[in-house]
Amino acid sequence: MFKSPLATMHVSALISLVVLFPVAFGQLNTLAKAKGLMYFGSATDNGELSDTTYVSILSNTSQFGQITPGNTQKWVYTEPTQNTFSWTQGDVITSFAEGNGQLLRCHNLVWYNELPSWITSGTWTNATLIAALKNHIANEVTHYKGQCYAWDVVNEAFNDDGTYRVDVFYTTIGPEYIPIAFETAALYDSSVKLYYNDYNIEYAGAKATAAQNLVTSLKARGIKIDGVGLQAHFIVGSTPSLSSQLSNLKAFTALGVEVAYTELDVRFSSLPPTTAGLTQQGTDYANTVSACVQTTNCVGVTVWDFTDKYSWVPSTFSGQGDACLWYTDFTLHPAYYSVVAALGGSATATSSTVVSTATTLVTSTTTTTSAAATTTASGTVAKWGQCGGTGWTGGTVCESGTTCTYSNAWYSQCL
């Protein structure tokens, strides 16, 4: 993506002021980095990038400093027939992240799901499936070498009771397929971070212990493993407590690996949500983000898409949803502000708001929400800014072309 020198100057100046006034701007990635994390990120998928409103939010690196391809780096997309590779769909996401200057978590190399039929229905021996596994990893890691911060090398290899998940790789190769996958990935890109990624390992139990034992085993054999991804697909009111998540993260980092929350969302098991439920969702999100902030070597938090409009939850769990930080109409859940607070922001703050023009940066003193710099030079509330809600004392008149739109009792937004 081409950036003019003037645009670069504006961005650099803006970044400097954001560092000085993180509370006033308050976007998720800016605050996360100010707290010592590497990023606050989001997963996305190819079809969503045709949605201009969605793209404008996802491209804002003050909100999201990292991107995960939700699906199109998986085996069924990248090697649909044996030894015939297709990178087109995966490259859409990687190019998007690169163009925005966002970190990329690559996802994933080996998973029991989203496999092409030639794998699941093939006739394999130990040797032939190992060869196919190595060939796939070698080609994909080589193609994306230098683009990824990390690879989810193996995804969801354990059952909830800590036993190995039975799939074509385990049945044919046995548990050794996991060390083979990590060794092969390291062989073709020695600098990328290599992760094991799973759900229900966010709290102590048999599955978390199995993942910890895997880390210990790989390290004992001298096999490169750099991190563990905790997916964090939670249910409102059933999310592990802050203390539970803290002790669990530290059990992993004590093994010499970094950790990250890689697929965070907190879904309602029944809809519509109640007022109490929305408050609880905010607490659940905040506890998870706080656990990462408070853990040395927890590098970041990724939400599994930022808006309910593209959430995987409703199609997977009938009658459930509203799991993300943005509603389907791109207004904000109250939980967004809970995350802002967990990252060191506050409800309101008075400081300098930066306004970019064609030739200069103009500063004006104003009262803003911590979620964004919400006013324009004329004093009206900018698009996406808050314009109402319980206790709101800021501006209520939206800039031309936008209307103050009710989202919930706490929040109205200029859209």
SS3 state at 1:
coil
Structural domain of 395? 385-414
Domain contains 354: no
> Does the bond joining 108 to the residue before it have cis omega, within 30 degrees of 0?
yes
Q: What's the pLDDT tens digit per position in 340-357?
A: 999 998 743 332 222 222
Based on the domain organization, do 250 and 148 belong to the same domain?
yes
Q: Which pLDDT score, from 0 to 100, does residue 19 have?
A: 34
Based on the domain organization, do 293 and 170 belong to the same domain?
yes
Domain contains 360: no
Based on the domain organization, do 389 and 332 belong to the same domain?
no
Q: Which pLDDT score, from 0 to 100, does residue 397 have?
A: 87
The set of residues, in sequence order, having a beta carbon less than 8 Å from that of 390 and lying 6+ positions away, is 409, 410
Q: Which pLDDT score, from 0 to 100, does residue 172 have?
A: 98
Based on the domain organization, do 63 and 179 belong to the same domain?
yes
Task: Return the exposure string of 227-264: e unless at least 16 CB atoms fall within 10 Å of the residue's CB, then b.
Answer: bbbbbbbbbbeebbebeebbebbbebbebebbbbbbbb
* Token pair listed for 398: 């939206």
Contact 313, 267 (CB under 8 A): yes
Based on the domain organization, do 179 and 325 belong to the same domain?
yes
Element (H, E) at 22: helix 22-25
Q: What are the start-end ranges of the H helices in 262-384?
A: 275-293, 313-316, 334-342
Domain count, the chain: 2
Domain contains 406: yes
Please identify which of the residues 140, 202, 263, 399 carries the catalytic annotation.
263
Which residues of the chain have a pLDDT value below 70?
1-26, 347-379, 382-386, 389-393, 406-415
Last residue of a domain, one of 291, 324, 343: 343
Based on the domain organization, do 146 and 219 belong to the same domain?
yes
Domain contains 202: yes
Task: Return the exposure string of 266-286: e unless at least 16 CB atoms fall within 10 Å of the residue's CB, then b.
Answer: bbbeeeebeeebbbbbbbbbb
Domain contains 65: yes
Q: Give backbone dihedrals phi and psi of 53, rounded to 5 degrees, phi first.
A: -65, -45
Last residue of a domain, one of 343, 373, 406: 343
The set of residues, in sequence order, having a beta carbon less than 8 Å from that of 22 and lying 6+ positions away, is 30, 31, 34, 344, 345
Based on the domain organization, do 409 and 302 belong to the same domain?
no
Based on the domain organization, do 39 and 165 belong to the same domain?
yes
Contact 295, 259 (CB under 8 A): yes
Last residue of a domain, one of 315, 343, 371: 343
Domain contains 369: no
Please identify which of the residues 79, 156, 183, 399 carries the catalytic annotation.
156
Active-site annotation holds for 156: yes
Residue 305: DSSP 8-state = -
Tell me the residue length of the chain. Answer: 415
Nearest to 94 by CA among 151, 37, 133: 151
Based on the domain organization, do 337 and 407 belong to the same domain?
no
Q: How many CA atoms lie within 13 A of 338 on its CB side?
A: 21
Cα separation, 363 vs 366, whole angstroms: 9
Pairing of strands 103-111, 66-69: parallel
Based on the domain organization, do 88 and 235 belong to the same domain?
yes
Q: Which pLDDT score, from 0 to 100, does residue 14 have?
A: 33
The set of residues, in sequence order, having a beta carbon less than 8 Å from that of 331 and lying 6+ positions away, is 405, 407, 408, 411, 412, 413, 415
Q: Give backbone dihedrals phi and psi of 128, rounded to 5 degrees, phi first.
A: -70, -35
CATH of the domain at 96: 3.20.20.80
The set of residues, in sequence order, having a beta carbon less than 8 Å from that of 279 and lying 6+ positions away, is 334
Pairing of strands 411-414, 404-408: antiparallel
Based on the domain organization, do 66 and 197 belong to the same domain?
yes
Domain contains 371: no
Domain contains 73: yes
- The region, left, alpha or beta by phi > 0 then psi within -120 to 50, assigned to residue 36 is left
Based on the domain organization, do 410 and 310 belong to the same domain?
no
